[in-house]
Amino acid sequence: MFHLLFITLLSTTIISSSHCAEPKEPKSTLSKLIKNKRLRSASSNHLTSTVIKAKINNIVTEHEFLTAVRNNNNQEIQFHLSNPCLNLNMQDGEGNTALHIATEKFYVPTILQLLTLYQVDPTIRNQKFFMAHQLAATLTANTEEKTQIKYALFRASTIQFTVVKECEQILLTKPQGITTKKEMEQAIQNIKKTITTTENSQQITLPKEARLENNEDILIQNKIFYTLNDLKKTTTQKNNCSIL
């Protein structure tokens, strides 16, 4: 009896529901949602395709730049260096950067130009665990020019190490980084003092030709800004990572 009553009630509910007029607005809204979802999906696919193409173009450009350095094609090198988006620290299959390649080939003008660019990191190691100045030390001919280049590369590596260490210390006490000219001047002095101490401890006296003279302060300043921004980005990314 109970089962019969339940079936009767259920049938009545279904019949009454089937006679209800379907609301037009929800159907229209649903159509809009479906349409918008399709548009977003198409837009997302387009963006993904654009990003992939951009990454492929960057890889091709970086490969062409390394090839230009390897072939000592100055015209091509200057063309690529005019690209502000070029990654100057990209590495080939053996872990060599443009600076490694120029050093191994002993292309002096290219070495010196790369050392004046604040984005270039001379402390990067290749797959043989060599930094550029260590690679220079393996060159067989012991000419005066090679000695000067080796010292210039060594000083560039020392500057890079010291700048990174100084920037890490700055961010520990002042997360916003350097905000005044006085703070920048103090940071530069600290770095140069540390560099001198490092060179003295290793009993290295750099010849005048191995220094960038007046331009060195500008290089250090630019490296400080670049490194601070890089470290702050890394810190932000770490803070935004959620541990699952």
As given in the structure block, the two tokens for residue 33 are 């949602």
pLDDT tens for the chain, 244 residues: list them: 444 444 444 444 444 444 444 444 445 555 655 556 555 565 556 556 665 555 556 667 888 999 999 999 999 999 999 998 899 999 999 999 999 999 999 999 999 999 999 999 999 999 999 999 999 988 876 688 888 888 889 989 999 999 999 999 999 999 989 999 999 999 999 999 998 888 777 766 655 555 555 578 899 999 999 999 999 887 665 555 444 3
Residue 223 tokens read as 């490296």
Measured distance CA(186)–CA(240) in Å, rounded = 32
What's the pTM value of the predicted model, to 2 decimals? 0.71
Max CA-CA distance within the chain? 110
Taken as a whole, the chain contains a residue count of 244
Q: 90, 70 in Cβ contact below 8 A?
A: no
**Helix-helix angle 98-105:24-70, to 10 degrees:** 10
Q: Which of 178, 158, 179 is nearest to 167 (CA)?
A: 178
Residues in contact with 97: Cβ distance below 8 Å, sequence separation at least 6, in sequence order: 88, 89, 90, 91, 120, 121, 124, 126, 132
- Cα separation, 144 vs 94, in Å, equals 29
CA 155 to chain centre: 23
Q: CB of 120 within 8 A of CB of 114?
A: yes
Question: Tokens 């920048």 appear where?
Answer: 184
